[in-house]
Structure 1
Amino acid sequence: MDHPLRATLAAELHARPFLRLAESVSLTHYAIYTEHNPSIHETLLHTLCRDTEIPIPAEGATHCSVQSRCGWHLKWERHTEFSTFTFVIPRKDSDYFNDVATEGIPASWFMQLAGSRFVASRMELLTGDGARAARDALRQWIDGPILVGSNVLGGGQAFCDWCVRPDGFMRFLVIDEGFREEQGGRLLQRLYEIETYRMMALLALPIARRMSRDLDEIHSSLQSLMQSMDAQGADGDDSQLLVKLTHLAVRVESLSGSGGRFSASRAYEKLVLARIQELREERIEGMPTILEFMERRFAPAMETCRSVWARHEQIADRIARAVDLLRTRVNLAQEKDVTRLLVGMERTARNQLHLQHAVEGLSVAAISYYVLSLAAAAFKALHVLSLPIEPELAEGLAIGPVVLAVIAITKRTRSRLLKRNASDEEHVVRPLNQSI
């Protein structure tokens, strides 16, 4: 009775549940991203499951959550462009930000992350006396140049410095002052999602910087061509200018291949801002909130990406308009050339018509002469037969009728040809008009 996709789509709402944390925990989070080896995500998962003897998810699974024999809990998620490995283990000591959450994982597995580890974060969720002691000694654990922190979710505090340490990890310290059920897990997930989506959004920044340099060159070339086109006027080498503008259009179009990256960057930026809003931050005196820090450091980078892409589209539109204008000018010049050619052809046709009339007059005289010559021979023959005909008189009397007859026959022949040509043109034009 149900649609084949109903169960799958309904289960998607519950596909990635938050971690349930009721005590102090240590969390290690990895985000894996690569452009040239999409199979690495499943390979890493299967290798990890095999090495640590945990169940391998079903083929085609995009997420899994499983407890290992080493004590840590694994949460794996496959996203469109990246995958994440999150390891969580209860914290019993105060040796914070160590590798306790990944104990028991072979070093060979971490070696496979080379070149694809895009995000690496260590988080500590602390409760009770340990939380108060860590809060009083924040700079012992988070010693970056800028300490960012705020009261979050109405029941705790989150601190970080957004710095990657020599061990390759970023640190987040979360103080639980009365979180309700699942709030601690939601907070940790939102924090590492903010960092992961932030890094994915920033993938467009290096492209924007390279594209900005290319756009500077294209803009300079376009300005030079436009000035050249204006200076040369209608008498310039428009065909050469059109070739150069087409080359610029090809260069701009080649940059459009990065459009997908910029679109993804905008989507990730929205996710970052949405996750920050979900924190419900309240200021702690003396330090910026996460939102304020992102507005100062992350927002300018995203604005750079947006402005570069907007500039790309603007230059593409300008080149398209320039090509249209130049093509219009070329068409006008061609129409003028065609008009001059038609005028010359009309003049030639008129001269040919006058010459034809002159030739027709000469032909009438020539035909009449030959007809009269034949008639004179006939009259002489009849005179020899003793008929009462004077050849010279008869020939003189026949000049008028012969000339008139030749003129009449010539006119009738010409009119027949004109009618036949008009009929042929009508047969040709009528199908063309019907097809148009």
Structure 2
Amino acid sequence: MAQGECDGGSTADIDIDGMPMRTFKKHPLRDVVLGEVHARPFRPLATPRIVLHYAFLTNAQEADADRAWFAEHCVNYGAPGPSHDARFHSLAVAGGTLSWERHTEFTTYTWDGPANGGRPFAAMPSNHPFGSSFRAPGLMLVATRLEFLEEEQAGDWRDQFDPGSLTAFRVEGASATAATDFRVDGNGHTRYLVLNRSMSGVQAGAIVQRLLEIETYRSLALLGLFEANRLQPEISGIEVELVELTKRMQDTSGLDANKELLDSLSRLAGALEAGAAATSYRFGASRAYHEIVMARLRALAEEPLPGDLSMSAFLSRRLAPAMRTCQYIEERQATLSRKLARATTLLRTRVDVDLEQQNRSLLESMNRRARLQLRLQQTVEGLSVAAISYYVVGLVAYLAKGAKDAGLPIGSPGLVTGAAVPVVVLVIWWTLNRIKAHHMEKGDD
């Protein structure tokens, strides 16, 4: 192979530190793959800081429209917007950073900026970017306010939370304390508080991002629960109707009755499969989101404060049962589908047997009809021989009479006619049989 060529196409040699180095034709996704690990960087944070985080459910059209709006929004601030295939972009605005991120079924906007005052959950900064000029890309599911303060600035921070659902825990080897009660405040935000003791800015950014991801993905995971609750009455109705149909199968006979039952089973199977197809994505997504939540909780390595619940303990009380409910509904759908398939197969076999019996009866009836037609045909053939012979004998009689009148030496015309009868009958019978045999031979061919 010549220098500078490879299987992927021709390239040019370059020289690095005096040594030749061959370049190769790149895979079209190489840059994207390498950049994926940097797509969601931990943004270093310093106290005091406020983080506002929103997640909006978006379909493909809404996400494309949102990308176009955000690109124009960036241009209005004199900054470049996201590229066509970008899934993450940030913009410096209002003394902080606005981050845009596109996911499969949702879009997030996160802004971190300077907090007002030194106490937890003071007045919201008036210049935050989610005012009247902000365009929501879809239905909002997550709205979170997180404050990052120094521990000595927090004061009596427990007064800011509901003690009945408070979770408070240490992270990063007790270098910070985090707390939330998962309640919604007067502005519609769930609230998180992170109190720094000795974390670096990068550590703080990682902890904040994990907490926001837990809030986002636990909300998305719970969407499957409401799909499961919606499906339960429908599945229960199908189960009850299936029991009634299988009972009727034991007492039902006859083709029409079995076909009616088969139509009912097919209708039930169609309704079940339609529900399963409509929810398979939701249940699968809920499982994936739940796994992400569990992974983020493990990454937090939380240690509950004395007398308080950890976030893992609190979420496990509701999130885990919700996921089990989704799994239970999926298993009920699968089990019911198998039962319907077995009942349908059994009933279809009965219908096929009834159809075969009906077809056999029809064939026997056709055979009887064919035998009758054959007998009728044989009768007609016998009558045809007699009729044709009668006319031929009549012609012979006329010929005999005419020959005698012409003076030919013919005895009695009656004797000639009588003698011709057996001969004519045999000739006509033989001729008709020859014609019949000829047609049968052509039919066999």
- Seen in structure 2, the aligned counterparts of structure 1 residues 354 and 29 have a Cα distance that, compared at 3 Å, is same
- What CA distance in whole angstroms lies between the structure 2 residues aligned with 1:140 and 1:114? 35
2:40 alignment partner, SS class:
coil
Q: What displacement does 1:333 show?
A: 1.8
**Corresponding letter in the other structure for 2:44:** R
* Maintained 8 Å contact 2:238/2:268: yes
- Quick one: distance in 1 between partners of 2:146 and 2:78? 24
1:6 paired with 2:53, answer no
Q: Is the alpha carbon distance of 1:33 and 1:396 closer, same or farther for their aligned partners in structure 2, counting shifts above 3 Å?
A: closer
Q: Give 1:83-162 correspondences, 5 Å limit.
A: 83-90=107-114, 93-100=117-124, 103-105=127-129, 107-109=131-133, 112-113=135-136, 116-127=139-150, 129-130=152-153, 134=155, 137-154=156-173, 155-162=175-182
| CA shift digits 1:15-60 (9 cap, x unpaired) | 1110113544332222223568445634764676578x46252343
Q: Could you list the runs of 5+ residues in structure 1 that have no partner in the other structure?
A: 424-436
Given residue 362 of structure 1, which amino acid in structure 2 is its aligned partner? L
- AA of the residue aligned to 1:145: G
Amino acid at match of 2:54: Y
Partner of 1:406: 428
Contact 1:32 1:41 in 2 (8 A): no
Residue equivalent to 2:238: 218
Residues in 2 aligned to 1:242 and 1:421: alpha-carbon distance in whole angstroms: 43
Using the aligned pairs only, state the percent identity.
36
What corresponds to 1:335 in structure 2?
A: 356
Aligned counterparts, 1:49-68, within 5 A: 49=74, 53=77, 55-60=79-84, 61-68=86-93
Distance of 2:341 and 2:83 partners within structure 1: 49
Task: Please give the TM-score of this superposition, normalised by the length of structure 2.
Answer: 0.83
Change beyond 3 A, Cα 1:179–1:106? closer
Q: Is the 8 A contact 1:47 1:109 kept in 2?
A: no
Q: How does 1:25-36 map to 2 (within 5 A)?
A: 25-34=49-58
8 A Cα contact 2:393 2:420, kept in partner? yes
Report the 3-state secondary structure (helix = DSSP H, G, I; strand = E; otherwise coil) of the residue aligned with 2:182: strand
Tell me the TM-score normalised to structure 1 length: 0.84
Q: Is the 8 A contact 1:382 1:389 kept in 2?
A: no
Q: Which residue of 2 aligns with 1:300?
A: 321
Deviations 1:303-354 (A, max 9, x none): 2222223323433444344444333332322221121111011011112212
1:196-215 to structure 2, matched below 5 A, reads 196-215=216-235
Structure 2, gaps ≥5 residues long: 1-24
Report the AA paired with residue 13 of structure 1. V
After superposition, the Cα gap between the structure-2 partners of 1:115 and 1:363, relative to the gap in structure 1 and judged at 3 Å, is closer
Moved more, 383-392 or 350-359: 383-392
In 2, the alpha carbon distance for the partners of 1:78 and 1:396 equals: 112
Change (3 A) 1:156 1:263: same
Instruction: Return the match for 1:73 from 77, 88, 97.
Output: 97
Matched position secondary structure for 1:74: strand
Partner of 1:429: none
Q: Choose the corresponding residue for 2:418, options 354, 376, 396.
A: 396
- The equivalent of 1:355 in structure 2 is 376
Distance 1:398 1:236, change over 3 A: closer
Q: Is the 8 Å Cα contact of residues 218 and 290 (structure 2) preserved in structure 1? A: yes
Distance 2:97 2:323 in 1: 35
State the match for 1:165 in structure 2.
Answer: 185
Task: Give, in whole Å, the separation in 1 of the partners of 2:72 and 2:243.
Answer: 57
1:374-431 Cα offsets, whole Å, 9 max, x none, are 22322233333240433333333333332222222222111111111111xxxxxxxx
- RMSD over aligned CA atoms reads 3.0
Q: CA deviation at 1:145?
A: 1.3
Query: Which of the residues 250, 255, 259 maps onto 1:230?
Result: 250
How far residue 189 of structure 1 moved from its aligned partner, in angstroms, is 0.3
**How many angstroms apart in 1 are the aligned matches of 2:210 and 2:109?**
15
Letter of the aligned partner of 2:184 in structure 1? V
Residues paired across the two proteins, number = 416
User: Secondary structure of the equivalent of 1:407?
Assistant: helix
Higher helix share: 1
Name the CA distance, whole Å, in 2 between partners of 1:31 and 1:106: 13
Give the Cα separation in 2 of the matches to 1:96 and 1:40: 36
Q: How far 1:93 sits from its partner (Å)?
A: 4.1
Is 1:421 the counterpart of 2:443? The answer is yes
> What amino acid is the match of 1:63?
F
Aligned to 2:5: none
Kindly indicate whether the alpha-carbon contact (under 8 Å) linking 2:96 and 2:111 is maintained by their aligned counterparts in 1: yes
Equivalent position SS for 1:397 = helix
Amino acid at match of 2:279: S
